Structure 1
Amino acid sequence: MTVPSNQSRAAVVTGGSRGIGRAVALRLAVDGQDVVVGYVDNETEAKSTVEAIETTGGRAVAVQVDVADENGVRALFDAAERSFGGVDVVVNAAGVMILKPVVQLDLDEFDRMHRTNLRGTFVVAREAIGRLRAGGAIINFSTSVTRLNLPSYAAYAASKAAVEALSPILAKEARGRDITVNAVAPGPTATALFLEGKSDDLIQHIAKQNPMERLGRPDDIAEVVSLLAGNGRWINGQTIFVNGGAA
């Protein structure tokens, strides 16, 4: 089917207050979708994203949510339905990245990453599969690091590899519902999450490893999410690596 790009569609974007999530929220609004900006703690940035959408004539609301809490996630979808009448697209962009060698990573840090990255994606997707209208889409987030085998990324990559395993199975479980489920796996992208704690020399080294000789931009990732959230209906059960050829 061809999905109309108009204000009748509504998207929930977790982690929508900053980084890639913010870029996705802004892009979906440009596409004509109403947007629910899910955020965990930074209300100021979430409101800034909403205001940016409203400035361009779109409609958006910000809702605080712990994606790993099923009651909070249920309330998030309730808020979306109250605001916009239903939900058509869910983007699981909320994520935590802590980089340490396995021997140095505290188990509380391990649990924190997996609680958000895996459990959070699972909880949101489980709620979404029963709430999305026909023609809907679930877009989860993995990472290109699952193929790069970089030191210090083990726990983070493991949490995202699990998301890659979840997504195509959920696509098959949605049989007959006209709902697609895919995962997007960005490469190194110029966000605060990626840049934090890295020297300029290291950032330049990583950028040069890409045949495009630059880091990804949040808008690069949002472009692919836009396709999956709209007319890319024949893409289903896939992990799409969006990295400029880095992996």
Structure 2
Amino acid sequence: MSNPKHSIQGKTALIAGGAKNLGGLLATDLVHHGAKAVAIHYNSAASKADALKTVAALEKMGATAIALQGDLSTASAVKKLFADAVAAVGRPDIAINTVGKVLKKPMSEISEAEFDEMDAVNNKAAFFFLKEAGKHVNDGGKICTLVTSLLGAFTPFYSSYAGTKAPVEHYTRAAAKELGARGISVTAVGPGPMDTPFFYGQESADAQAYHKSAAALSPFSQTGLTDIEDVVPFVRHLVSDGWWITGQTILINGGYTTK
């Protein structure tokens, strides 16, 4: 039986990278389960239309919603995002960071500029999102960061992607310890390769075929990949009745990798 204390009903959420794909679906799912207000973050003008479309959908469902733009690769931008979200919809009960950037290249070909960009998006932004979430999320709140199932892989070519997502595991543990006294749970979720443009833009036809057959449950998936619809219920659980799970990184991938 659901504990009203950890219900999504009447809660306020902030979703970084919430314009489309997994972030957009998480936003609509939270409202479907009772969230009253959602702040949707988007990175740049390229995703503004998607963010506004998601906001319109949330408003049609009866929620208060706002779209907030920001390049979260600086601490000041993350701080501004939380300040703007609080001003617009109130202090969040739920903060979810889905922001990420993929680069598939041999280590020998990765430039310093490419590494710095990956580090800023996947590592630095995640750290300061957790920092600001710790300051602004209400007591008893929930914080979740999207990482990657490649954290459980022994594979080439993703060194800068998995490597810059890996620190989030420790940030999650540290934040869970530091915020536990306020009843705040902190988790990370690592989906397998997802059936979104985020995946297809990086992979050759051969690589796509491999990833679509690599998970133990691939034969039972429509795409062979992790569908965003398979990830959403787990995140919803972690930010509601699953509050007792904290400090953990959970891989959701149908048996693609494990730890």
- TM-score, normalised via structure 1 length: 0.94
1:224 aligns to what? 234
CA distance in 2, matches of 1:178, 1:32: 21
1:174 aligns to what? 179
Q: Is the 8 A contact 1:15 1:92 kept in 2?
A: yes
Of the candidates 134, 142, 145, which is equivalent to residue 140 of structure 1? 145
Of the candidates 6, 9, 13, which is equivalent to residue 9 of structure 2? 6
2:221 aligns to what? none
Q: Is the 8 A contact 1:29 1:59 kept in 2?
A: no
CA distance in 2, matches of 1:53, 1:90: 17
Question: Is the alpha carbon distance of 1:197 and 1:172 closer, same or farther for their aligned partners in structure 2, counting shifts above 3 Å?
Answer: closer
**What is the identity, as a one-letter code, of the residue corresponding to 1:209?**
A
CA distance in 2, matches of 1:207, 1:55: 36
Per the TM alignment, residue 4 of structure 1 is displaced from its structure 2 partner at its CA by: 2.7
**What is the identity, as a one-letter code, of the residue corresponding to 1:65?**
G
Q: Is the 8 A contact 1:86 1:133 kept in 2?
A: yes
CA distance in 1, matches of 2:112, 2:98: 23
Q: Is the 8 A contact 1:12 1:91 kept in 2?
A: yes
Identity %: 32
2:39 aligns to what? 36
Per the TM alignment, residue 72 of structure 1 is displaced from its structure 2 partner at its CA by: 2.2
1:189 partnered with 2:189: no
Per the TM alignment, residue 70 of structure 1 is displaced from its structure 2 partner at its CA by: 2.4
Q: Is the 8 A contact 1:24 1:219 kept in 2?
A: no
CA distance in 1, matches of 2:215, 2:176: 31
Off by >4 Å, runs of 4+ in structure 1: none
Q: Is the 8 A contact 2:102 2:202 kept in 1?
A: no
SS at match of 2:254: coil
**What is the identity, as a one-letter code, of the residue corresponding to 1:20?**
L
CA distance in 2, matches of 1:22, 1:239: 22
Q: Is the 8 A contact 1:24 1:222 kept in 2?
A: yes
1:245 aligns to what? 255
Per the TM alignment, residue 116 of structure 1 is displaced from its structure 2 partner at its CA by: 0.9
1:24 partnered with 2:34: no
Count of paired positions: 246
**What is the identity, as a one-letter code, of the residue corresponding to 2:22?**
I
Question: Which residues of structure 2 form unaligned runs of 5+?
Answer: 219-223
